[in-house]
């Protein structure tokens, strides 16, 4: 039995870094929400006791570096599974983009193999396992909208933001998350109002959400990659309601409430950026199937 699983991207409406932890990670506080831009994961049972990654994207590793591979390996080792699986990954989410594409692929693999191998695990149990693979995997197991704390693995669900369009633009560069964190000066950053963002979402106040978007990693990436700063400026100029870099970048997203403005922004960005997407917020939990 083959199984298809959807692996949607996420954006950070608010991303704060509080301090460096004794374990070397950074303590973060973020508001994340899923968007309707998704990879497709197909799980194909194999008779041999192996894990095989099938990808047609040359930037996606097909070995143990792949987070979907790590997800399958973790389940096999934890529960003594002797069955094999081929994991076919059809990418739509850009690679190394700050949109949690790899983490979402891993989360989709966990959810799918839970069904395929009849493990009977809850989402909470899968999210706990996911935290061993990467900081964003726990959130991606659930989807929806949440406050993420710790190193990103502690998840508190909140309501979805009000419906709107999300326009994304990714320049032709990749950004190393580790490098961005290494260059972050915790003494000089301006902390975004994460609690205010949560209240704005709970009260469904779209204008306030737009006024409170913030990401402390933005300054680091914008300094090093002027093309990201340029996309941000152009998106504002074309009329997006709010503009922010997602995660450690380099993808920039804009929130847009009205369809009439969307096409103008899309056309303007396509003039100098190859990867531009217009999608809706998913925002609700259980919107992954």
Coil vs helix vs strand at 141: helix
Per-residue pLDDT at 288: 53
Q: Which long-range contacts (CB under 8 A, 24 or more apart) does 124-132 make?
A: 127/153, 127/155, 129/71, 129/74, 129/75, 129/78, 130/71, 130/106, 132/74
Confirm whether pTM is higher than 0.85: yes
With a CB cutoff of 8 Å and minimum separation 6, the contacts of 45 are 1, 2, 83, 84, 85, 116
**Beta-carbon neighbour count of residue 162 at 10 Å?**
17
pLDDT in tens, 213-268: 999 999 999 999 999 999 999 999 999 999 999 999 999 999 999 988 999 999 99
Decide if 20 is catalytic.
Answer: no
**Which secondary-structure segment (H or E) carries 68?**
helix 67-79
pLDDT in tens, the chain (289 residues): 899 999 999 999 999 999 988 888 899 999 999 999 999 999 999 999 999 999 988 889 999 999 999 999 999 999 999 999 999 999 999 998 999 999 999 999 999 999 999 999 999 999 999 999 998 999 999 999 999 999 999 999 999 999 999 999 999 988 888 899 999 999 899 999 999 999 999 999 999 999 999 999 999 999 999 999 999 999 999 999 999 999 999 999 999 999 889 999 999 999 888 899 999 998 776 555 5
Identified catalytic residue from 6, 10, 29, 76? 10
Mean pLDDT of the chain, nearest integer: 94
Identified catalytic residue from 16, 39, 105, 136? 136
Decide if 289 is catalytic.
Answer: no
Identify any residues that bridge with 45 across adjacent strands, giving them in sequence order: 85
């Amino acid at each position: 039995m083959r199984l298809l699983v959807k692996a949607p991207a996420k954006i950070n409406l608010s991303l704060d870094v509080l301090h460096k932890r004794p374990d070397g990670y950074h303590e973060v506080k973020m508001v994340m929400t899923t968007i309707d831009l998704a990879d497709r994961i197909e799980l194909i049972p194999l008779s041999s006791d192996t894990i095989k990654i099938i990808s047609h994207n040359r930037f996606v590793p097909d070995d143990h570096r792949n987070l979907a591979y790590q997800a399958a390996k973790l389940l096999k080792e934890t529960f003594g599974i002797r069955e094999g699986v081929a994991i076919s990954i059809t990418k739509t989410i850009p690679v190394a983009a700050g949109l949690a594409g790899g983490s979402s692929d891993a989360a989709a693999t966990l959810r799918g193999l839970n069904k395929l191998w009849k493990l009977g695990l809850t989402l909470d149990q899968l999210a706990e396992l996911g935290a061993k693979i990467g900081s964003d995997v726990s959130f991606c197991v659930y989807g929806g909208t949440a406050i993420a704390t710790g190193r990103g693995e502690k998840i508190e669900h909140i309501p979805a933001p009000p419906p709107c369009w999300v326009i994304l633009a990714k320049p032709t560069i990749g950004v190393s998350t580790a490098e961005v964190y290494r260059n972050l000066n915790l003494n000089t950053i301006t902390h975004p109002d994460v609690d205010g963002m949560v209240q704005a979402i709970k009260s469904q106040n779209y204008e306030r959400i737009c006024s409170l978007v913030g990401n402390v990693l933005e300054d680091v990436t914008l300094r090093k990659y002027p093309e990201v700063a340029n996309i941000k400026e152009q998106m504002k100029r074309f009329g997006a309601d709010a503009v922010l870099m997602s995660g450690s970048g380099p993808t920039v997203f804009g929130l847009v409430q009205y369809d009439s403005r969307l096409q103008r922004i899309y056309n303007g960005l396509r003039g100098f950026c190859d990867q531009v997407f217009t999608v809706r917020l998913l925002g609700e939990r259980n919107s992954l199937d």
